[in-house]
Amino acid sequence: MTMTAQPQSQVTAHEPKVTVHLKIKRYNPEVDTRPHWEEYEVQMSPGDRVLDALHQVKWTIDGTLSFRRSCAHGVCGSDAVVINGQNMLACVNLIRNVGTHLTIEPIRGLPVIKDLVVDMEPFFAQYRSILPYLIAHDDPGYKERLQSPEDRERFDDTTKCILCACCTTSCPVYWANDSYVGPAAIVNAHRFIFDSRDQAAAERLDILNQKSGVWRCRTAFNCTEACPRGISVTKSIEEVKRAILYDRV
Amino acid sequence: MLKNFTIVRFHAKLYTVKVHYHSYDAVIVGAGGAGLRAAIEVAGKVRTAVITKLYPTRSHTGAAQGGMCAALANVEEDYWEWHAFDTVKGGDYLGDQPAIDIMCREAIDAVIDLEHFGMPFSRTPEGRIDQRRFGGHTRNHGEAPVRRSCYAADRTGHMILQTLYQQCVAHEVNFFNEFQVFDVLFDESGGQKRAAGVVAYELATGDLHVFVSKGVLFATGGYGKIFRISSNAHTLTGDGLGVLYRRGIPMQDLEFYQFHPTGIYGFGILLSEAARGEGGILRNGLGERFMERVAPTVKDLAPRDMVSRAIHAEIREGRGAGTDKDFVYLDLTHLPPEQIDAKLPDITDFARTYLGIEPKTQPIPIQPTAHYAMGGIPTNVEGEVVLDGKGTVVPGLYAAGECACVSVHGANRLGTNSLLDIVVFGRRGGRAMAEYVKGVDHPEVPRGAEAEVRDRIERFKAASGGEKVPAIRTELQQTMTENASVVRTAESLRAAHAKIDELVERYHSIAIDDKGEVFNYDLVEAVELSHLLDLAKGLVVGAEARQESRGAHWRDDFPTRDDVNWMKHSLAHRGDDGDVRLEYKPVIGGRYEPMERKY
Ligand SMILES: Cc1cc2nc3c(=O)[nH]c(=O)nc-3n(C[C@H](O)[C@H](O)[C@H](O)COP(=O)(O)OP(=O)(O)OC[C@H]3O[C@@H](n4cnc5c(N)ncnc54)[C@H](O)[C@@H]3O)c2cc1C
Ligand code: SF4
Ligand code: SF4
Ligand code: FES
């Protein structure tokens, strides 16, 4: 064991605090006609999350600031926001890594309800449109269906999706045309299309072959860069396109 | 001053809440694993609404990592009876054995069920569901660790939550997303109190919704946010328990709260026991494998309460690591890198993200973190809420999942048994509720059932006191972590008790900044804090009374288990003033007689 290799700076409770400047896009439908920027300054440790800084603003300066959050460690998908121009989860990015001057705004392409809270319904409706559940007509009886580790691996990447919408709301095609089903829905279709137990690949491929489907994607890679789960989003879209073209799963 | 006052009045007058009325046969509150599993059972059979303050896929079930135990015997010999024995022993003989038998027997079914729903379990080379070791799970009554935990890499909970939600989409379950339940309704017109519905607050609009329903099932999860260092989400504020507790339902075994040994230092973010299941080792600041001393047979895979206390002892005796000597290490550096990537990808990423540590070459600083509530809403094995030791039920009222106490986990839950609990008892509760509602009339709910909630909201918005919700919550979390966690004494508990009383007093004069109606999380946090205070107080009072050490409840001043006086469940009743009155009911025994807990 290499006890000495430990970077002490990262693991002490005594790191000096730094001043973090936040410029946050605010909108309150009850009083504002359009969004405006507000600026705040808070003292944070470099090892704190951006989410902690948002909390610091809400809890010590202005309780009217609204944003969603739950798990605080990147597994629930609640707190996708745009930080300095990039789609990210506020809870998996530390001040140390994103800097002390932060511009924070709601994710784009979905209607803003209040401050950083957007209407997620259109996003979930697109998710639901691709039949996101296992469809298998055989009766496996009182035992598990078998699946080889290789077959299981085939769709492992796309099972990681937490439906945070970072990808879809970073996609220029989606911004221009919100009827596009979007990368997140395609990722979730991929998860079933390439699951050896599933029997409805053809139906899903038909759905994604429509006007609002995969062919709108121009392979811009924004989505892959935005995904906090490290899913190869563009690759999975390409695999779905190929499956449509060559009728092959 | 005067100006301030005028503004407040202005807001109070302006506030006219809209109220909507709904009528259902069954309402499920909560859409984590337990709520969704129940929903699959109920939807399609009776008119059902699932009400959830988070989008279902945001529920904290998605954070569960390690696995779900079932004696499938896919990789080595195993029997559900062995699983039951481990659960009884792990719970330090406070669990009810008939319920434990049911859970361990139905575990096998529950895993197969999930697989049929599409759950992407990790597989053996033969294509069967793979299984791995987990703390406290042994072969043949403690002989050696056994491979019993079914898993999907280290995101088992994520996969379960997604799979159950997918099935709900397939079943066209009717969700009310981002609706937060603030109150429960009862109908006492027939002479007997029975469930009649809930009052929910719609986050997007601030409107109130009265759901009149024959059956109500609570599946609102835990309340880990009473502690400062915690693996729980910000939203785990014990709402379901809090709402019922205020309405006269007792809470069972609150003093039993589990601390998971391996939380990321400073953050409390969980690093699953799967890390030790895969061969990870705990080391103190001197590099010693201290669990060898504490549990010679199973070592690092001893149950959580023991490991957490061992860590606490290392730190207290000056063998911690770091400048403050206040953490120990989880060491994975001897594991093959491919194994880490394949089996523990997410949790090793957490160490990289939050501590900047590379777990393949560096040990990870960890400390115990508040993790799981063994106690909660008392239920029987059908998920019906019970009021006393005689098993008196409140017809139509159900609970399942972490908010409930069946009790299968006794004084200390074994790893993987909660994911199991939520699917087994989610299913049972759902089934029982679907049956029940077919045989009863719609309850009577008078107009204006929401009045009390409305008054409460108006009071919050009109209040101009000097106290702030975040300050009170932080002080509560601080005192609970310091005084009522891994190790407790009469003195530490007295300090926590006094602090909570002070905070409850101060809570009366809180004011919130946000007087608006749209996504007013300021208001929501104020309501949630009332539950945290209530539950913390119930926990501390129960812990003060219990003069023994059992499972997760360790009293330095009473360091042994006392089966003569204390082999019983506590029931905390809340008085109108928030005071706690304790009552006890017997543990239901079975095949296994209490014996000393050695590993
Ligand atoms: C980090 C972590 C790892 C874990 N790993 C494991 C593991 O490997 N194996 C294991 O067995 N257990 C594990 N556990 C424990 C287990 O995950 C939880 O106990 C279990 O998932 C709880 O499920 P639940 O359905 O009861 O509640 P949750 O999943 O917490 O869901 C609660 C639901 O209630 C809703 N809700 C709450 N309040 C309200 C309200 N007022 N109105 C409306 N809706 C409301 C929420 O929106 C949410 O949908 C882990 C826990 C944590 C924190
Ligand atoms: S790769 Fe396709 S889906 Fe992704 S951002 Fe580009 S256009 Fe959008
Ligand atoms: S694919 Fe990635 S970015 Fe897109 S919703 Fe899923 S987790 Fe989020
Ligand atoms: S709060 Fe859950 S992903 Fe950030």
User: Which pLDDT band, with edges at 50, 70 and 90, does A42 fall under?
Assistant: very high
**Rounded CA gap, A167 and A184, in Å?**
6
- On whether both A14 and A106 belong to a single domain, the answer is yes
The one-letter code for the residue type at B31 is A
Find the CB nearest B118 among A5, A134, A163: A134
Of A68, A90, A118, the last residue of a domain is A118
CB of B433 closer than 8 Å to CB of B120: no
- On whether both A102 and A186 belong to a single domain, the answer is no
- On whether both A26 and A129 belong to a single domain, the answer is no
Q: What are the tokens at B294?
A: 């504490």
Q: What is the pLDDT of residues B269-302, one digit of tens each?
A: 999 888 998 999 999 999 999 999 999 988 998 8
> Which of the residues B521, B527, B529 would you substitute to probe the A interface, choosing the one with the greatest number of A C-beta atoms within 10 Å?
B521
- On whether both A60 and A170 belong to a single domain, the answer is no
Residue A176 has pLDDT above 60, yes or no: yes
- Check: pTM over 0.90? Answer yes or no: yes
| Least reliable range by pLDDT among A130-144, B2-16, B168-182, B525-539 | B2-16
Query: Are B323 and A12 an interchain contact pair (Cβ–Cβ within 8 Å)?
Result: yes
Query: From the CA of B551, how far away is ligand 3's center (Å)?
Result: 40
Least CA distance to B321: which residue of chain A? A3
Q: Can you say whether residue B30 is alpha, beta or left, with left for phi > 0 and alpha for psi between -120 and 50 degrees?
A: left
CB of B568 closer than 8 Å to CB of B410: no
Q: What is the CATH number of the domain that holds A152?
A: 1.10.1060.10
Strand partners for A82: A87, A105
Q: Ligand 2 atom closest to Cα of A216? A: 7
Q: Is the CB of B422 under 6 A from ligand 1?
A: yes
User: Which pLDDT band, with edges at 50, 70 and 90, does A11 fall under?
Assistant: low
Give mean pLDDT, residues A31-36.
Answer: 96
**Rounded CA gap, A93 and A73, in Å?**
9
Least CA distance to B164: which residue of chain A? A133
- On whether both A56 and A152 belong to a single domain, the answer is no
Give mean pLDDT, residues B368-379.
Answer: 98
pLDDT at A38: 98
**Rounded CA gap, B141 and B125, in Å?**
28
- On whether both A38 and A132 belong to a single domain, the answer is no
With beta carbons under 8 A apart, name residues in chain B contacting A156: 120, 153
Of A83, A118, A153, the last residue of a domain is A118
Query: Are B112 and A143 an interchain contact pair (Cβ–Cβ within 8 Å)?
Result: yes
Strand partners for A213: none
User: Which pLDDT band, with edges at 50, 70 and 90, does A16 fall under?
Assistant: very high
CB of A84 closer than 8 Å to CB of A95: no
CB of B153 closer than 8 Å to CB of B66: no
- On whether both A156 and A230 belong to a single domain, the answer is yes
**Rounded CA gap, B237 and B202, in Å?**
18
Strand partners for A37: A25
- Rounded to two decimals, the ipTM of the complex is 0.95
Residue B592 has pLDDT above 50, yes or no: yes
Q: What is the pLDDT of residues A43-56, one digit of tens each?
A: 999 999 999 999 99
Domain that holds residue A129: 121-246
Query: Are B518 and A12 an interchain contact pair (Cβ–Cβ within 8 Å)?
Result: no
- On whether both A145 and A196 belong to a single domain, the answer is yes
Q: Is the CB of A80 under 6 A from ligand 3?
A: no
Q: What is the pLDDT of residues B533-554, one digit of tens each?
A: 999 999 999 999 999 999 999 9
Q: Count up the domains in chain A and report the number.
A: 2
User: Which pLDDT band, with edges at 50, 70 and 90, does B465 fall under?
Assistant: confident
Of A77, A102, A118, the last residue of a domain is A118
**Rounded CA gap, A224 and A234, in Å?**
6
CB-based contact, B586 to chain A, within 8 Å: no
Query: Are B58 and A62 an interchain contact pair (Cβ–Cβ within 8 Å)?
Result: no
Mutation test of ligand 2: which of A234, A238, A240, A241 has the most ligand atoms closer than 8 Å to its C-beta? Answer: A234
Q: Is the CB of A109 under 6 A from ligand 2?
A: no
User: Which pLDDT band, with edges at 50, 70 and 90, does B134 fall under?
Assistant: confident
- The single-letter DSSP state of residue A168 is G
Higher per-residue pLDDT: B5 or B134? B134
- On whether both A192 and A215 belong to a single domain, the answer is yes
Q: Ligand 2 atom closest to Cα of A170? A: 5
State percent of chain B over pLDDT 70: 97
Residue B10 has pLDDT above 50, yes or no: no
Q: Ligand 4 atom closest to Cα of A74? A: 3
Query: Are A159 and B152 an interchain contact pair (Cβ–Cβ within 8 Å)?
Result: yes
- On whether both A161 and A239 belong to a single domain, the answer is yes
- On whether both A184 and A126 belong to a single domain, the answer is yes
Active-site annotation of B, residues: 304
pLDDT at B500: 98
- On whether both A127 and A212 belong to a single domain, the answer is yes
User: Which pLDDT band, with edges at 50, 70 and 90, does A12 fall under?
Assistant: low
Contacts of B35 (CB under 8 A, 6+ apart): B28, B29, B50, B52, B56, B59, B217, B219, B220, B400, B401, B426
**Ligand with the closest atom to the CA of A76:** 4
Q: What is the CATH number of the domain that holds A10?
A: 3.10.20.30
Within 13 Å, how many C-alpha atoms sit on residue B235's CB side?
A: 28
Q: Is the CB of A166 under 6 A from ligand 3?
A: yes
**Rounded CA gap, B469 and B525, in Å?**
7
With beta carbons under 8 A apart, name residues in chain B contacting A30: 516-518
Q: Is the CB of A102 under 6 A from ligand 3?
A: no
| Least reliable range by pLDDT among A143-157, A209-223, B222-236, B402-416 | A209-223
Gap from B45 CA to chain A (nearest CA, Å): 20
Query: Are A124 and B162 an interchain contact pair (Cβ–Cβ within 8 Å)?
Result: no
CB of B365 closer than 8 Å to CB of B264: yes
User: Which pLDDT band, with edges at 50, 70 and 90, does A139 fall under?
Assistant: confident
Q: Is the CB of B419 under 6 A from ligand 1?
A: yes
Find the CB nearest B234 among A72, A142, A195: A72
pLDDT at A248: 66
Residue B489 has pLDDT above 70, yes or no: yes
